[in-house]
A and B are shown apart, each in its own frame.
Chain A
Amino acid sequence: MLLDGVLTERSKRALAWFAMVGLSLAVVACVYAYQFPGTAFNNMIVVDGFATFFRVLVIAVGILTVLCSESYLRGERAGPGQYYALLLYSIVGQCIMASANELIMVFIGLEISSIASYILAGYLRDDRRNNESALKYFLLGSFATAFLLYGIAWIYGVTGFTNLTEIRRTLMTPETAPSISLIGVAAALMFVGFAFKVSAAPFQIWAPDVYQGAPAPVSAFMSAGPKAAAFAVFMRVFLTAFNPIANRWQPFVWGSAILTMVIGNFAALTQTNIKRLLAYSSIAHAGYVMVAIAADSEIGTAAAMFYLAAYALMQVGAFAVVTYFVRQGERYTSVEDLAGLGYKQPTVAAMLTIFLLSLIGVPLTGGFFGKFYIFKAALDSNLIWLTVIGLLNSAVAAYYYLRIIVVMYMHEPGEASATAPPVSPALSLAMWGAAVGTFVLGIFPSALLDFADRSANLVK
């Protein structure tokens, strides 16, 4: 309905700028639709601030990805047609997820998004790593989706509803509420499914292999878009439908948040492949968002929303630089290959430095403000130890991000950076966009924060 911009474009074999136009129209459509909040299609789809926020976010990630992909695909001599079609298809799925008000829609959106991503992860057919990545992603991903589906079936069985509002009402009323153990099983099954999709521990194992193997722009996309959308449904389902049993699932989210942060950060310490390192860092960042969810409050939801926006910008930005750097056949993927980039390509290196500082959480960047807001929410909900562990984790994280900066500025230029080609205009547009966005969120966060705050009110 509101995604007509995307859908029509998909049917043609869209080229890069065609996709861009489609996505831009989709943003306009989303914002326009926001004027008329409410539900549609038999209460299956909801348009509210929360949905609009995430739809604009995943579309923005899509735009950045398209900008990154253009020169990459040319370098790999891969056909752009199916690529952009799949990308847009995946974005459609995520938009549906973001606005789903009904478990069936959640599932449909998730499947659309995931299946397109499975194919994208293996888009370069002749590349062994691509194939491995796609296969792993597909096998583990469908397993997790099965869990989710089983959870949905279970909840339908015990409550008779798949609509989130109805489920919530059923659970709220003591007469109709089924026994907590039955609901608990359903919630646990769905938790597994979502935790897999957002790469939260202990279901994060797939992420490093998949991100490392997939084409760099696809990794950029996967680590931001589907993740944001999955968090959106995660929050919508758990904070709406399962809100009445919040005190039951909260400890699990709490534990998963700690595990995710610790595993992500400590595993990233020893990585030498930059894509793998960023994959672990993306796991760690999922952990911070889990902290916000564990807070189980409106401020927590708003914090998670803001953080995902800031995270999307810095993560896609960092992957954009990786996309630029790996060159044909993904030859240069080790951290050491970045040696001396600071002097051969000062602008690109400065960009990557900005994204990394933001990932560390240095003030004046979006990453800092996001983290600040998350920990504020957690302290508000009296999660003191979770906050302390999270804060210490972000100090650990500083180490591996700094190592990349060290290599760029403090090592003598190596072969890879000496032969670095000039940056293509589209890619440089993506980097500048992400960098400016990172600073805007860090220095003038008010506008987005206000919107997140207001939207978080509507979520229930």
Chain B
Amino acid sequence: MTILDITLFLPLLGFLALLLVPKDRPDASRTMALAVSLLTFVSSLGLIGPYWFRSPQGFQFEQNLSWIAYPPIRYHVGLDGLSLWLVLLTTLLTPICVLVSWKYIEKRVKEYYAWLILLEFGLVGVFLALDMFLFYVFWEISLVPMYFLIGVWGHERRIYAAIKFFLYTFAGSVLMLGAIIYLYNRTGSFDYSGVVAMITSGRLALTWTEQILLFLAFFIAFAIKVPLFPLHTWLPDAHVEAPTAGSVMLASVMLKMGAYGLIRFCVPMFPAASRACSDWIIPLAITGIIYGALVAMVQPNMKKLVAYSSVSHLGFVVLGIFSFTQQGLDGAVYQMLNHGVSTGALFILVGYMYERRHTLEIAGYGGVATPAPWLSSVFLMTTLASIGLPMLNNFVGEYLVLQGAAIANFTWAVFAAIGVILSAVYMLWLYQRLFFGRASEEVSRHMWDLSGREWAAMLPLLVLMVWMGSYTQSFIPPISAQNARILDLSKAGVDFRVDTRTARSAEVARVR
């Protein structure tokens, strides 16, 4: 029993405990949810230690127990530099989401928090699982709570959005299940490290067709989740219709499941296929960056705007991953965290405004800065972080991705940079339309300033924006160490099965 198991199973216990809370005492449910999620966060803080900065080898806190004897499915969990911060992001955002929902959710409170806490269990599990079967189990578990969160507590078109969300993800993931079973039949193991070792050592020689098909089966599941253009269409619906906390968890953590899967599974397990397919993946990623930004620009609905901006931001992540450079990968992982912090914050702020004015239409606002100066300052800071102002978090991630892309292929970087410019356009324009100008009477009456609870939810994120933007050394070393290993794995595989046309892209790039 390590601190990792505690972090993982506390939410499950919390979920069961929440089911026992009487229905007619909503405050008890709220307090219980907050207590559980804070406790989980505190326990997850115990995962940070000096070893992450002393060039760690392999997985920390590994736990490997038998779950099902045959086929050999194991409860195998562990943490490395890639999953470390993603787990912490999840455990940090859950109590924030509980706080954000405190007043917003008034009906069926108990069920709401139960699903939210169960969602945390699934998400943490996804990042920790080192057995592919276990990974799939957590992957699917996280789907069900989110489906209910959107479908029951969402806005008008919530049912459509919830079903679309579920079906898209489910359709992608069944193919991944097929691929996992296929790998098992070839290797006799679901163990992630074991299978990767077999592939890199050449003991499991997959033919080119096999490799491509398996890669695609995994890739489509992850690309839907990321979402990569043109598989993104579920995202605007789900984000817009979800309740605030749902949008936050969806944007900040669930999208990262896809990117995490790409780095964890696709790249090291099918290196040659990854490189071959990057020829069309990167153009899609860049299209996503620009398309997302352009569509965001013309949205009249602010939640939809933030949703499309996510498509754009996640395009950077995919670009970074498939540039196969150290900088690109580091930037991609960092950008995953940054997006989690800043877009999470944006969704929270949009949620605050909706609670006051009960509309998501940008046109319904204007001049909010006068009645609610603190709200507008916080919003401004989040906006600046989101567009990548130096000293704030997104800048670092975007810079690294662009550098990585430039090393691999300068043209990519040029096109991707257009996305950075466009993001400034749509975000600043949004800010201008919401906060500047004269406040109508309606706006002044409804837009009161931030309450203590609302501050409490936002403050950690604001601190992180500055911290992650100005002192990256606290975060990057474990990520880099892990990425270097993944990059090595991805090369070892390529060298082993020489395929000249794929190895070209990024061999230049090992500048560390």
Contacts and interface: CB of A to CB of B under 8 A. Distances in A.
Contacts, number: 77
Contacts of A403: 163
Nearest to B168: A395
Contacts of B69: 446, 450
Interface string A38-76: 000000000000000000000000000000000000000
B177 interface: yes
A139 interface: no
Interface in B385-421: none
A402 B70 contact: no
A403 B166 CA distance: 11
Contacts of B147: 402
Contact of B178 (A379, A406, A446): A379
A391 B174 contact: yes
Given A363-B136, A379-B185, A394 B174 contact: yes
A375 B175 CA distance: 11
A325 B171 CA distance: 31
Interface string A376-420: 100110001001100110110011001100100110000000000
Contacts of B184: 376
Contacts of B70: 446, 449-450, 453
A392 B181 contact: no
Nearest to B71: A376
B152 A410 contact: yes
A285 B141 CA distance: 22
Contacts of A372: 177, 181
Nearest to B184: A376
A444 B167 CA distance: 27
B182 interface: yes
A357 B141 CA distance: 11
Contacts of A399: 163, 167
A379 B158 contact: no
Given A379-B185, A398-B167, A357 B174 contact: no
A445 interface: yes
A388 B171 CA distance: 11
B464 interface: no
A383 to B, nearest CB: 11
Interface in B147-169: 147-148, 151-152, 158-159, 162-163, 166-167
B67 to A, nearest CB: 9
A343 interface: yes
A364 interface: yes
B137 interface: yes
B151 A395 contact: no
B170 interface: yes
Contacts of B137: 363-364
The size bracket of the interface on B is 20 to 34
A360 B167 CA distance: 11
B159 A387 contact: no
Contacts of B163: 399, 402-403, 406
Contacts of B182: 379, 384
Contact of B185 (A376, A409, A453): A376
A21 interface: no
Nearest to B174: A391
Interface in B361-406: none
A379 B141 CA distance: 24
B144 interface: yes
Contacts of B360: none
A407 B182 CA distance: 37
A360 B141 CA distance: 13
A375 B136 CA distance: 15
Contacts of A375: 177-178, 181
A362 interface: yes
A391 B181 CA distance: 12
B428 interface: no
B167 A380 contact: no
Interface string B116-154: 000000000000000000001100110110011001100
B158 A410 contact: yes
B68 A387 contact: no
Contact of B141 (A363, A387, A449): A363
A406 B166 CA distance: 12
A63 B127 CA distance: 42
B504 interface: no
B438 interface: no
A343 B175 contact: no
A51 B125 CA distance: 40
B159 A410 contact: yes
B227 to A, nearest CB: 17
Contacts of A343: 108
A110 to B, nearest CB: 34
A269 to B, nearest CB: 12
B185 A402 contact: no
Contacts of A376: 71, 181, 184-185
B174 A395 contact: yes
Contacts of A391: 174-175, 177-178
A225 B145 CA distance: 33
A262 to B, nearest CB: 15
Contacts of B141: 362-364
A21 B144 CA distance: 39
Nearest to A380: B185
A410 B151 contact: yes
Contacts of B108: 343
Interface of B: 68-71, 108, 136-137, 140-141, 143-144, 147-148, 151-152, 158-159, 162-163, 166-167, 170-171, 174-175, 177-178, 181-182, 184-185
Given A376-B181, A409-B148, 11 more contacts: A362-B141, A368-B140, A380-B185, A387-B181, A391-B178, A394-B174, A399-B167, A402-B166, A402-B167, A406-B162, A410-B159
12 contacts: A362-B140, A364-B137, A368-B140, A372-B181, A375-B181, A376-B184, A380-B185, A384-B182, A387-B178, A391-B177, A402-B166, A410-B162
A-B complex: 3 closest residue pairs judged by Cβ atoms: A363-B137, A395-B171, A391-B174
Interface of A: 343, 357, 360, 362-364, 368, 372, 375-376, 379-380, 384, 387-388, 391-392, 394-395, 398-399, 402-403, 406, 409-410, 444-446, 449-450, 453
